[in-house]
Amino acid sequence: MGVQQSRADGAAIASGAVSEEKDKVPESSLDLSFITPRIMACGRPSVRESDLEDHRNNLDELGTFLDQRHGDNYAVLNLSNKGRNVIDYSKFHNSVVEFQPYSRTDITDDTPGLGEVFRACYCLRFFLEWGPETVVAAHCNNGVYRTGFVLAAFLVYIGQFDSIAEALAFFSKKRLQGHINTAVAAECGDEDGSAISIASRMMPSWRFLMQQLDKVMRQPPSLPRAFKLAYIIINAPGLARTSDDTDPVVQIFEVGDRAAETDSDS
């Protein structure tokens, strides 16, 4: 699905049918912000106690919050560096997707590749289209910089904003305003969080990526070359089959509409 097609119905993807009660964070120690009613940015999960200033959420507390508010309708997007934030994903019912670029150990928020950003956007869109109540909680090492960039790119991808800079300003207001993340807000030049943007703290490599993303997002749609699908290979090494297992189902979509689906005997 092309970028232009993705932008056509972005409002429904970002908002959906999540009730107003569910997109509010109660007064608590959790570092978590609703960017849209269905997209959250949060501090990194940890076995240690929650700490707002350190952008850290206790693993059990965060899992309990997501379970109570959203049941099994949530997914966690882990954008932190490879090898960091190694946590027990069973606390989130293993509903976790990793987009963790390799980086040196002394770099905590290095620039992801263009392809990585788009893969994250595709993943977000797929899960949010799964049902009207589905939500996503995204985090990196602090839930601010890389998380903000990827979520801003997604908001442009679905047509909520025309540029990454505009989307970052929106994210910054949602994520940094108020008592949460006051330290980062001060770093960005506005302690009360009223007129800040993490874009002001980005390195040249991030700004270059912003330009490239904006250029790709604005490209007119092109007709792809048609290919004939001959077969699909599902490779799941080590997957044990039992009589109770559900057979895999493959759905094929054509320009946003489901064109074909396998049955259990395929």
Q: What φ, ψ does residue 76 adopt, rounded to 5°?
A: -110, 130
Q: CA-CA distances (angstroms) from residue 186 to 130, 163, 253? A: 38, 24, 46
Instruction: Identify the CA nearest to 29 among candidates 4, 56, 64, 1.
Output: 56
First to last CA, the chain: 25
Tell me which amino acid residue 82 is: K
Q: What is the pLDDT of residue 75?
A: 94
Asked if 168 and 159 count as a contact pair (C-beta separation under 8 A), the reply is no
Mean pLDDT split into 10-residue runs, the chain, 266 residues: 54 59 60 92 87 83 92 91 72 87 56 85 92 92 88 94 91 74 50 57 83 85 69 67 63 58 55
Q: Residues with Cβ < 8 Å from 92, sequence gap 6 or more?
A: 63, 66, 74, 76
**What is the C-alpha separation between 46 and 41, in angstroms, rounded?**
15
> Tokens representing 261?
């689906």
> Residue ranges of the domains in the chain?
3-217
pLDDT at 128: 93
CATH of 3-217, one of 3.90.190.10, 1.10.3470.10, 3.40.50.150, 2.60.40.10: 3.90.190.10
- The single-letter code of the amino acid at 191 is E
Q: What are the Cα distances from residue 33, in Å, to 52, 58, 225, 236?
A: 11, 15, 42, 35
Which residue bears the tokens 């939500």?
Answer: 135
pLDDT of residue 228: 77
| pLDDT at position 181 | 46
In the prediction, which pLDDT does 192 show?
46
Please give the pLDDT value at position 137: 95
